[in-house]
Amino acid sequence: MRLLVARCRVDYEGRLSAHLPSAVRLVMIKADGCVAVHADGGAYKPLNWMNAPNTLTESDAGLVVTNPQGETLHITLEEVVDDRTVELGEDPGLHKDGVEAHLQELLAAHPDALGDGLELVRREHPTDIGPVDLLCRDAEGAAVAVEIKRRGEIAGVEQLVRYLERLERDPLLTPVRGVLAAQRIKPQARVLAAERGIDCVEVDYDALRGRASDELRLF
């Protein structure tokens, strides 16, 4: 990784045009060739960048980065403050826990957390516009489609409505009830869900995980 601190101007031409007037900034060039120009603030997003794969040419004037789509990033160097290269090596990568996939696993194992007597029919039940997270049957044998989100927002309700439209057309399933399950559901999503006849269930991730490990302990 090369860390170049310099007074520079930057111009990007591609999906849009973007220009940075002269200032001192950090130019980070990674081993895979990707380039990012950072100011001393503004979260982790760079002011300007070019992802790999690209071709980088350097001259006294500065850097020109071009990618296969014909986008260009021109970095005009006016004064180099610091320029060093460090060896980082391969990164073993990030391990995440607590994303939607885990919530889906837990709810597939414990569908009754979504309603008494609910039983799983299948996960990722396919429709022609994408898979429904969980398809269940309730105690009366009626079909229940479940959309799972970490955070329940309007988009999640609309997604479930689209699935329900499709599922209702299946004579083996109809009528189909809809359930939006999330760790937190926003008030506006609740309002829209109510209008569309969809039930909302807030799920306690830690409690579910606790149930899962309790059961493991029994065996």
Residues that bind its own copies (CB under 8 A): 1, 3, 5, 15-26, 28, 30-32, 34, 36, 38-49, 51-52, 81-82, 84, 86-99, 129, 150, 155, 158, 162, 188, 191-192
Tokens encoding 70: 């014909």
| Closer to its own copies by Cβ: residue 1 or 139 | 1
Give the type of residue at 213.
Answer: S
The one of its own copies, DNA, none whose footprint includes residue 126, by CB under 5 to 8 A per kind, is DNA
Helix (H, G, I), strand (E, B) or coil at 159: helix
CA distance 33 to 166: 45
DSSP code of residue 51: P
| Closer to its own copies by Cβ: residue 34 or 212 | 34
The strand pair at 55-58 and 17-29 is best described as unpaired
Residue ranges that bind DNA, judged by CB under 7 A: 12, 14-16, 18, 42-45, 48-51, 67, 71, 73, 94, 96, 99-101, 126, 129-130, 148-151, 153-156, 159, 162, 186-189
Helix (H, G, I), strand (E, B) or coil at 163: helix
| Closer to its own copies by Cβ: residue 35 or 173 | 35
| Closer to DNA by Cβ: residue 2 or 30 | 30
Give how far the C-alpha of residue 111 lies from the chain's centroid of Cα atoms, to the nearest Å: 24
